[in-house]
Amino acid sequence: MRKIVNKPDLKLFLFYGLVLIPTFFLYCSRNDVAFFFVLVAMLLTSVIEIPIYRFRTKKPGYSALEAACIGDFYGVPISEEIQADNERTYKTQVTLNVGGFIIPLLFSVYLLLNYSTLLLEIALAILLMTLFSYMLLEVKAGVGIVIPSYVGVFAIPLALILAPGVQAEAQAGNTAIAGLIFILAIFGILLGLLIAVATLSREEVGSAFFNLGGVGSFQPIYLISVLTLLIGTVP
């Protein structure tokens, strides 16, 4: 069953690890590796969940085959979770993923301090990103909240719209824009997740876990983080 410390997805680790290796050398040449190590920390701690809340939700009426297929696709033990306790409801656990929620949120707050004169514009852009994320996410019975991997890309054009203001602050080109992309994407996706949990209809859909920033939502968060890292390396 899903636990507070989960087994890592080896294919995921291998893919992102291979992407990060050449990126490390790009950042070393600029003597600016803080962002790189944040992404490394996010990847390494993506297996850790911090429980914050419990409540009851309805178990889905999946057949054994459906539960097995969905569980294999998302990498979660749905069959075991449905059969646990022999009850008709889940003892649902809401958790915050360290690598997919806590670290990116803290780093986004830190980066936000560099854009003090654009707070209103950034707030409006985050609102748009939040709405976009919320409209595209899905509460999947037995799995949790699932967000498409491409959602974070919407933050790129939003950041480019704000680019003139960033340049007016005399910040360093693509590095500043990359930081802005990260802020908009992370705040937007995470706020979308929180709204989804807060407005969840417990009688219609349920899951043993809602891993915020973990299962179902780590991919879009980490993918846009890697894209942001690469954008920041462009001269």
Number of domains in the chain: 1
Q: For 174-185, write each residue's pLDDT tens digit.
A: 788 889 999 999
Produce one character per residue of 172-199: b if its CB has 16 or more CB atoms within 10 Å, e if not: eebbbbbbbbbbbbbbbbbbbbbebbee
**Is residue 47 assigned to a domain?**
yes
Q: For 125-135, write each residue's pLDDT tens digit.
A: 999 999 999 99
**Is residue 56 assigned to a domain?**
yes
**Is residue 134 assigned to a domain?**
yes
Q: Choose between 176 and 166: higher pLDDT.
A: 176
pLDDT class for 170, splitting at 50, 70, 90? very low
**Is residue 5 assigned to a domain?**
no
Q: For 99-114, write each residue's pLDDT tens digit.
A: 999 999 999 999 999 8
**Is residue 101 assigned to a domain?**
yes
**Is residue 4 assigned to a domain?**
no
Task: Work out the burial of residue 58: count CB atoms within 10 Å of its CB; fewer than 13 is exposed, 13-18 middle, 19 or more buried.
Answer: middle
Structure tokens at 135: 């409209």
CB atoms within 10 A of CB 151: 25
Boundaries of domain holding 210: 10-233
CA distance 160 to 173: 11
CA distance 157 to 163: 10
pLDDT class for 169, splitting at 50, 70, 90? low
Residue 83 CA neighbour count, 13 Å, CB half: 9
**Is residue 75 assigned to a domain?**
yes
- Give the pLDDT score at 195: 95
CA distance 69 to 81: 14
**Is residue 141 assigned to a domain?**
yes
